[in-house]
Structure 1
Amino acid sequence: MTIRPATPADQAALLALHRAVAEDPNGIARMPDEITDVYIASLLDLRPPVGLQRVVTDKLGELMGEIHGERYRLRIFDHILTGLTVVVHPRHQGKGVGKALFSQFLRDVRRVFPAIRRVELEARATNEASLRLYESLGFEREGIYRHKTRNRDGSFVDSVAMALTFTESDRYSR
Structure 2
Amino acid sequence: MKEYKCKKCGLTYDRKYKACPYCKKPRPKTGLVIFLIILILGAIGAFYYTNNGNPLNSKVKYLDGLKLEITNIEDVKGSLLNYNYIDCNIDITNTTTTDKTLTCSIKAYVDDYETSVDWFFSNTSLYTESLVAGKKISKSISIDVDNPDWKKIELFYSLDDENYQKLYTITHNDITEETH
TM-score range normalised by the length of the shorter chain? under 0.3
Higher helix share: 1
TM-score normalized by structure 2?
Answer: 0.26
Higher strand share: 2
TM-score normalized by structure 1?
Answer: 0.27
